[in-house]
Structures are given as C-alpha cells and as structure tokens.
Amino acid sequence: MTDKPPAAASSSNQAIENLEQELSVLWRRARAASQRVARAVHPDLEPAAYGLLVLLQRRGPLRLTDVAAAIGVGKPSVSRQIVMLESLGLVEKQADPEDGRAQTISLTESGSEQLARTQRAREKHFRALLASWDEDEVHTLSLLLHKLNASQVPEGSK
C-alpha cells in the first residue's frame, strides 16, 4: 500500500515514465557517441577500451589487477583489451619498479596524444551543445546526474 494520494502517485508514475524515456534517448545517444569517440582515437578501437585509456591517463601506470579492480571486470577481459590496445600502439607494458616480476601498463606517447586530441574535440562538442544553457543549468544537471549515478536500489527492491 502506498502513502501517496492517488493523484500524487499518478504524477510520480508519470515523472518516472518521463525520466525513463529521456534516459533511454540519452543512453542511445551516448552509445553512438562512444562509438565515434573510440574511432576518433583509433579506427579499430572498441568503445569499451576507451575507458581503459582514460583510467590510465588519470591514474598513471597500473598493474593489470589494479585496472581490473578499478573497472570492475575480470582479469581475462581486461587482459584481452590490453593486448588489443597494445597492438594498436596505444598502451605499453613495463617492468613494475616495485616488483620486477610484475608489469605495469601505461599509455604510449601516441596513445596519450590521440586521447588528449579526442578529449579536446569532445569538450568542444559539449560546449557547443550546451552553449544556450546558463551555468546554473549545467551545474544542476551535473549534480542530478551525480546523484543518479550514486543511487543504489534498496535491498529487496531489485
């Protein structure tokens, strides 16, 4: 049983339906944009691997286990992506200075340059897309998206 009056529940349901529709459009556009961004870095780059490049850019050289933990996937999946990125000349492996038996993965100079070029183009695109928005609207959207991304479904509601 709900605590809301029928009109409020109906309004809430409509708001959720509207949100779901808008997020669906956003996700479709994001998938298409991910394809374009990955191809801008390298024509053979898979969109999922773009995130690995950004992780390495932000955190510097990492061991394979640290990469896998950071993105929440298994080592075999990450290993396959790293091999692909290495074959494209975007990342390289070196001996870990703390443990010579282990290796760290980092961006190559070319990988770093291509990633930075693509990020500048993305920033330019977002600036053009949001040019008619005022700063408060952009800030509010950012805060609300952060809140949505940080939200978790209560246990037992899944």
Mean pLDDT by 10 residues, the chain (158 residues): 62 89 92 89 89 94 93 91 95 87 93 94 91 96 92 75
Could you give the domains of the chain? 12-150 (1.10.10.10)
pTM: 0.74
pLDDT tens string 68-110? 999 888 999 999 999 999 999 999 999 888 887 889 999 999 9
Between the alpha carbon of residue 11 and those of residues 4, 18, 144, the distances in Å are 10, 10, 20
Q: How far is it, in rounded angstroms, from Cα 120 to Cα 103?
A: 30
Q: What percent of the chain is helix, strand and coil (3-state, nearest 5)?
A: 70, 10, 20
